[in-house]
Amino acid sequence: MPLALIAALPFLGALLPGLMARAGRNTAALVTGAVTALALLGLVLHAPAVIGGQVLHQHIAWVPQIGLNADFFLDGLGFLFALLILGIGLLIVIYARFYLDPSENTGEFFTYLLLFQGAMLGIVLTDNVLMLLVFWELTSLSSFLLIGFWKHLAEGRQGARMALTVTGMGGLSMIAGMLILGHIVGSYDISTILQHAEEIQASPLFLPAMILVLVGAFAKSAQFPFHFWLPHAMAAPTPVSAYLHSATMVKAGLFLMARLWPVFAGRPEWFYVVSTVGLVTMVMAAKIALFKDDLKALLAYSTVSHLGLITFLFGLGTKAGAIAGVFHIINHATFKAALFMTAGIVDHETHTRDAKRLGGLMTLMPITFTIATVAGLSMAGIPPFNGFLSKEMMLEAAAHTGWWGLDWIVPLGATVGALFSVAYALRYVAHVFLGPVRDDYPTQPHDPVPGMWISPAILATLVILIGLFPMTMAGWLVTAAASAVTGAEVHPHIVLWHGITPALWMSVIAIAGGALLLALHAPLNRLWEATPKPHAKAMFDAVIDWAARGARGLTQGLHNGAISRYLAIFSVVVLVAGVWAFFTGAYSPGTRPMTPLEPVPVIAWFALMAATVAVVRYHHNRLLALVLVGIIGLMVSIAFVYLSAPDLALTQISVEVVTVMLLLLALNFLPKDSPRESSAPRKTRDAVIAIASGLGLGGLIYALMTRDFAYPTISDWHMAHSKAEAGGENVVNVIIVDFRGYDTFGEITVLGIAALAIYALTDALLRGPANARLRGWVPDLKRAGDRHPLMLVVATRVMMPIAVLVGAFIYLRGHNEPGGGFVAGLVIAIALLMQYMASGFAWAHLRQRANYQNLIGFGVLLAAATGIGAFFNGRPFLTSDFGHFYLPWHLGEFELATAMGFDAGVFLTVVGAVMLALASLSLIARRAGETVNQTPMSTDPSKAKTPEEKANALDEAAAEPHDDASEEH
């Protein structure tokens, strides 16, 4: 079976249990087991080749540009780990099937389990460090799901998050480390990296790379100071603990150390970091394990301790150390998985895992007792079980290791660690199974169904067999794996009895001392509980809480929702960046002479300034502010006239009129009193920012206007081609409808969208809580007696045809003289607005048929259609054409340009947009109780009505709203 397929099988199969769970947990377990067994079969088929020393490779390109490829290779080390992952995985599946309650979502559980299994397989089979990182973080993620499987438990959720945080952090650190390694070597292939050990060790980046990689490995393998997550991961269902903390997850770190052993080993940095951390972890965790009453916590700390032991061995950098390390990986996996499963059985059958509440189970649960004893004694390192063999090898290695010139410190540490190990292992057996039978178990314990004990039983058998026949049972595997680790052929010789050596004496001391410790457990435990200890979970929680609070403070503090502050920051940033950009570049002052100061601009300038300052001063009086804004607009229009820009002046003044009118109508519905003012310091701050920004902009404009263009501008070309090629004498209009008609197309769309948005907004408003407020609206200003005064009505009526004529004129002359569709649209809109203001919305609206939304839609479409018309001529969008026609009755030559169609679209959109805005405002007004008038003016001399008639007429009108929106309701 191809290696990639073996690694992919669990992923491919992961969906199956999730789906098959509907068919029951047996089916879910069966498909999971089948997938695992299939992958195991594929692996075992490769066994002869791998044991024979071959290395299998498979290459699949993924992202070759960054050296990330789905490459796989299988050597002794990978084989050993894959075997553990799949073999123990299979046993776990059986165990979990019987462990989990039928009410639980078994499908979900097995899906996560397979995902995790796939990730682990990927780590050990991949030949690419980047790919390894992918699988590495996948184990973090899938273990997060597994540990948090019991979502209703707070410990489960917190344990899952803690595991994800710590191992995820390690993974991220490893990303940096691996990238550095890859850059040194120039390849991300593990096989290649392993061959460039000298290059890496010679690199100045060796130490950072090693540390970064080791942080990842230590975090995963729960080495000090990252050990604290592992015990909290025990909140997971026991099958998860048994799988993750015996054979898989925590072994990933060890695997990585073994994998990269040839790269790092031999350097003193490696020895001092790895061995020291391993030794410290081993002793510290073993001591804590002794005082844990929760069986799973005891086993968790024992796992940390044993991982420390193996780390220590790999850190030695010697072949003997590597062999011992590899061998202990096998042994630990077998006895620890069995122990976790027995702890699960005890928990399952007695409903407690508290050692203080247990004891005497030997006769009640004989099968479990036997298994636990075999595995426990192996963990204690008692002959003839397999744990003894590897522990002896460890002690032997420790006995010959000096540390910073001190020969005794490592042997002492190893012995103490082993001593505690004996004590807690024996305690697990003694305090749970031995002693008198109690009568206060939560439930009556008995051995579980065979399905539950078969898995640990198989493992316990292996513990014995490997212990008795190490070379037959495991020798070949250790040889293959250790050869792969060290990159050289090794020939370990493991035997039960190897004479009286220092290691034997250390072992004897450990066993005797451990037994003694156990005997003294009660007083020691009291002492332990009396001593203050740093509590890792509390510290971790404190750090996370601190970080979360800090993050919240920073985030909320920065984004406090005050737009004034946002704009202040915006202005300061723009000003500072602009000033910096200017003063870091060369600047030669412009050469244009200053124009003489004339009275008109000076007066206009002062008026403009005065109006601007007055707006700031009187802004809380909204009506006055609007008038002042109108003055500013007027001044700007005058400036355009003065500077010979009639088109601009026309546009500007029409825009001013329309906006002031619409804003006047809108202001009616705003509160008339000013909101809370800023404090004086803040006002000062804002004033400083505003003045500085204004000065900055003024300076910029001065610099720009006193100089000539660096190159001839494109406007010369526009002027040259306007009449001849676009058929218009007014360059500005030609630019708007032709040269840059596309811009105009965009802008009228903007106008149309704005009107539609206003309409939608009003509609939403009237459907929301604002509706109630409007209905209860009490006019807060005194109203004039006649809403629709006679004089205004008459004046606007008279003006209407004139305005239309002016609009048509402006539209038609646009191409050659100042004017055009935009201005014409505004002029017509103003004329219409006046009608509406004079006689009320409903009255006026009844007298015109066009729907404003249609007007907008039609306008944009017309503009687009004119542009598209050019397609039929084989020309690009908006290409114009024009021709000269002779009108009858001696009216003379007349020019027609397609651009006029476009301009008509502009015209319609402008009218529609302005009127739709007005219609939206009128909707609000009507909701606020504005009555609908039937007659053009408030007092119509031709129709004198009795008061009753008036009231009826108003009621009828109110019942039948005639506005645009009503047709859609």
> 């500005």: which residue's tokens?
732
Of 36 and 920, which has the nearer Cβ to another protein? 920
CB 301 within 8 Å of CB 286: yes
Query: Does residue 351 come out as left (phi exceeding 0), alpha (psi in the -120 to 50 range) or beta?
Result: left
Q: For residue 857, give both structure tokens.
A: 């839609």
Of 502 and 646, which has the nearer Cβ to another protein? 646
> 């009828």: which residue's tokens?
956
CA distances from 507 to 394, 920, 965 (A): 10, 91, 93
Which DSSP symbol is given to 938? S
Partners of residue 68 on adjacent β-strands: 63
| Rounded Cα–Cα distance for residues 62 and 59 (Å) | 9
Of 199 and 293, which has the nearer Cβ to another protein? 199
Of 586 and 944, which has the nearer Cβ to another protein? 586
Residue 390: closest CA among 307, 331, 337, 333:
331
H/E run at residue 417: helix 409-433
β pairing state of 882-887 and 892-897: antiparallel
Of 90 and 215, which has the nearer Cβ to another protein? 215
Of 79 and 135, which has the nearer Cβ to another protein? 135
Of 534 and 712, which has the nearer Cβ to another protein? 712
Q: What's the min distance (Å) between Cβ of 639 and another protein?
A: 11
Tally DSSP H helices, then E strands, for the chain. 44, 6
| Rounded Cα–Cα distance for residues 773 and 783 (Å) | 20
Q: What's the min distance (Å) between Cβ of 417 and another protein?
A: 32
Q: What's the min distance (Å) between Cβ of 697 and another protein?
A: 7
| Rounded Cα–Cα distance for residues 608 and 614 (Å) | 10
- What lies within 8 Å, CB to CB, of 622 at 6+ separation is 667, 670, 672
Q: How many residues can be counted in the chain? A: 969
Of 154 and 406, which has the nearer Cβ to another protein? 154
| Rounded Cα–Cα distance for residues 625 and 106 (Å) | 70
How would you write 746-790 as a 3-class SS string?
Answer: HHHHHHHHHHHHHHHHHHHHHHCCHHHHHHCCCCCCCCCCCCCCH
Of 335 and 841, which has the nearer Cβ to another protein? 841
Of 639 and 932, which has the nearer Cβ to another protein? 639
Torsion of CA 238, 241, 247, 249, to 10 degrees: 150
The CB-based long-range contact list for 467-471 (8 Å cut-off, 24+ gap) reads 467/378, 467/383, 467/384, 467/385, 467/386, 467/387, 467/388, 467/389, 467/496, 468/384, 468/496, 470/386, 470/389, 470/494, 470/495, 470/496, 471/495
Q: What's the min distance (Å) between Cβ of 210 and another protein?
A: 16
Of 204 and 561, which has the nearer Cβ to another protein? 561
Handedness of CA 40, 45, 51, 56 (dihedral sign): negative
Q: What's the min distance (Å) between Cβ of 618 and another protein?
A: 18
Q: What's the min distance (Å) between Cβ of 235 and another protein?
A: 12
Residue 493: closest CA among 519, 520, 475:
475
Q: For residue 641, give both structure tokens.
A: 């006239």
Q: What's the min distance (Å) between Cβ of 261 and another protein?
A: 24
Of 4 and 864, which has the nearer Cβ to another protein? 864
Q: What's the min distance (Å) between Cβ of 85 and another protein?
A: 18
Of 272 and 582, which has the nearer Cβ to another protein? 582
Of 520 and 760, which has the nearer Cβ to another protein? 760
How would you write 536-550 as a 3-class SS string?
Answer: HHHHHHHHHHHHHHH
Q: Give the side-chain half-sphere CA count within 13 A for 813.
A: 12
Residue 279: closest CA among 420, 467, 375:
420
Q: What's the min distance (Å) between Cβ of 89 and another protein?
A: 20
Q: What's the min distance (Å) between Cβ of 732 and another protein?
A: 5
Q: What's the min distance (Å) between Cβ of 350 and another protein?
A: 25
Q: What's the min distance (Å) between Cβ of 718 and another protein?
A: 5
Q: What's the min distance (Å) between Cβ of 599 and another protein?
A: 23
Q: What's the min distance (Å) between Cβ of 883 and another protein?
A: 14
Helix residue spans in 237-365 (DSSP H): 238-244, 249-259, 261-264, 268-270, 276-290, 295-316, 319-350, 361-364
Q: What's the min distance (Å) between Cβ of 473 and another protein?
A: 36
Of 709 and 885, which has the nearer Cβ to another protein? 709
Of 581 and 781, which has the nearer Cβ to another protein? 581
Q: For residue 455, give both structure tokens.
A: 């898995």
Of 129 and 283, which has the nearer Cβ to another protein? 129
Q: What does the angle CA 64 – CA 70 – CA 74 come to, to the nearest 5 degrees?
A: 130
Q: What's the min distance (Å) between Cβ of 651 and another protein?
A: 5
Q: What's the min distance (Å) between Cβ of 18 and another protein?
A: 10
Residue 899: closest CA among 759, 785, 731:
731
Of 8 and 515, which has the nearer Cβ to another protein? 8
Q: What's the min distance (Å) between Cβ of 196 and another protein?
A: 18
| Rounded Cα–Cα distance for residues 54 and 45 (Å) | 13
- What lies within 8 Å, CB to CB, of 141 at 6+ separation is 119, 164
